[in-house]
Amino acid sequence: MSAGEPRTGRRGAGAGAPGARTRAAALAAEGLAFRYPRAARPTLDGVSFTVAPGELFGVLGPNGSGKSTLLRLLLGALGADGGRVRVLGRDLGTWGRRELARRVAVVPQHEDIAFPLSVEEMVAMGRYPHLGPWRAEGPGDRRAVREALARCDLSAVADRPVSTLSGGELQLGRLARALAQEPEVLVLDEPTVSLDLRHRMEIFGLLKQLAGPEGTTVLLVTHDLNAASRFADRLLLLDGGRQAAVGTPAQVLERETIERVYGWPVRVTRLPGPGPDAGAPQVTALATRHAPKEIA
């Protein structure tokens, strides 16, 4: 297959589905540890988890709990002091940067765009790992860009300058660029921060569709406990660099655990139906630190 041809066999290749491109864990951390120079304590200390192919996996935790550092370690931007990372069944250190970029796409929380681009041109940048610096895009590349724009409902604004987009539209554009990359693994850092209700739900809903029918593995960091509970298959909760809990939303979002990690009283209820997310735990912070504890 040439670099410009679209990949096939993706649709319906979710976790455990026949035809899935990998049977190994899509991402795995084993005893991951990291300490910044002159830091009083490790930023991460013994974190272990696996993300199955086609799974939507959420990483939660208070500010300073190690979420961003964990992403950097998983993507090779930092080297771990202990433990190891495996991507698609291989040790992270065995991947070349361009090879890894063809398989893993990243949507950052913030990004400065230094020169004028149309929305379509920004999305087309997702094809760079397949093209390199010298080869012109082919029909497969253009098809991938069109499909990514359509998937993120951006076809109508493809010719608009990126500078004219709203915050929600711009984040959808970043997501479309990652989808144009045709990754097996999609990693997102706070993809819905500062977005309104509609755009938050659109992005979480799209990620859920990708992780299920499309078979893309999705790992996202988020502060939105309730959306993560509704859409994620499993969650990792970090606390001071250690894993406080890992498992299904019902296993992780327990009142005692959330109060201990976040240091604030909460009520945990269940989302009423109808809908596929009926029964998902929903966390409500109580008015004051000294409010009486509620029973989930």
Separation between Cα atoms, residue 78 and residue 81, nearest integer Å: 9
This prediction's pTM: 0.87
Q: What is the pLDDT of residues 219-262, one digit of tens each?
A: 999 999 999 999 999 999 999 999 999 999 999 999 999 999 99
Q: What is the pLDDT of residues 129-180, one digit of tens each?
A: 888 666 777 899 999 999 999 999 999 999 999 999 998 899 999 999 999 9
Which domains are assigned to the chain? 27-253 (3.40.50.300), 254-296 (no CATH)
| Best CA proximity match to 58, nearest among 199, 272, 231 | 231
